[in-house]
Structure 1
Amino acid sequence: MSFSMIWPIAIIVLSNVIYNICSKETPSTINPFAALTVTYIVGAISSTVMYYALNRGGSLIQEYHNLNWSSFVLGLAVVGLEAGSIYMYKAGWNVSSGQLVYSIILAICLILVGVFAYHESISSTKIVGILVCLIGLYLINM
């Protein structure tokens, strides 16, 4: 497997570990949406800096002309992801199991989305994988 395939996964894993630690450590005394306003300000500044660092002479305003609906809906989805994570930990989920539970459910949902929305094939190994995930969910929550 080439480095171009590995580095994005490494960033996702590292970022996800940091993400879950930060979600768990968000003070219980703050409204999650108040905390997320700071999160998004930092994210917007970071994204702007990275855009210009990686696109010397680029025009962010010109890039905005290429947007479609997905960036706007993604913004709503990210708010749901982050608020859901903070509330999940406030509800008492452990770092070791909360993320695992929603990741298993997410994986099953994405297999179904792939099949029905994107016409991806579903193999017998994927079906076995779904069954293993469901068994795993049962074992985690015993």
Structure 2
Amino acid sequence: MFMYVFSVVLIIAANIFYNICQKATPQKANPFIALFATYAIASIVTLILFHFSKTDKGFLGSIKDLNWTSIVLAFCIVGLEFGYIMAYRSGWSISVCPLVANSILAVLLIPIGIFIFKENFELNKLFGIIFCIIGLVLINRN
């Protein structure tokens, strides 16, 4: 139960600081250099954390366990990071942009969960979709 709650709290805390950092990235900074610096530091941090993780395989043995998802995820992360930097630079507010993006994401992930991952679809998910759409309409009204 601890990990169930802790993981969501970590996601929320990381997302708060993520959006603060994206919004505060200097306008004059090249977004790709900003991303390069971010991922260079992230690479060092993950290598240090890997050193303390429990594995019998070592670094190269663990790399052999990877598949195509790490490559695609790298492109997705760069797209996500670049998208947020450009969204904030184009005028999106920090209080609205993630809400709009994540509401649309939630609605789009429901059919993916149902058809690809065979997750259940209950009536409460339909109401969630409806509320997300209503929320998007209300938050984007001038």
TM-score w.r.t. length of structure 2: 0.94
Structure 1 segment 1-142 matched on structure 2, within 5 A: 2-55=1-54, 59-142=58-141
Q: Displacement, 1:58?
A: 5.5
Q: Name the SS of the counterpart of 2:26 in structure 1.
A: coil
One-letter amino acid matched to 1:69 = W
- Cα displacement string for residues 81-139 of structure 1 (whole angstroms, at most 9, x for unaligned residues): 11111111001111111000000000001101111212222222111110100000001
Q: Displacement, 1:55?
A: 3.1
- Cα displacement string for residues 26-69 of structure 1 (whole angstroms, at most 9, x for unaligned residues): 11111211110000101100000001022377511110010100
Between the two proteins, what is the percent identity of the paired residues?
38
Q: Name the SS of the counterpart of 2:116 in structure 1.
A: helix
| Equivalent pair of 1:52/1:58 in contact (CA under 8 Å) | no
CA-based RMSD of the aligned residues comes to 1.3
Aligned residues: 141
Unpaired segments ≥5 residues, structure 2: none
The 2-side partners of 1:135 and 1:56 are apart by: 47
The 2-side partners of 1:124 and 1:9 are apart by: 24
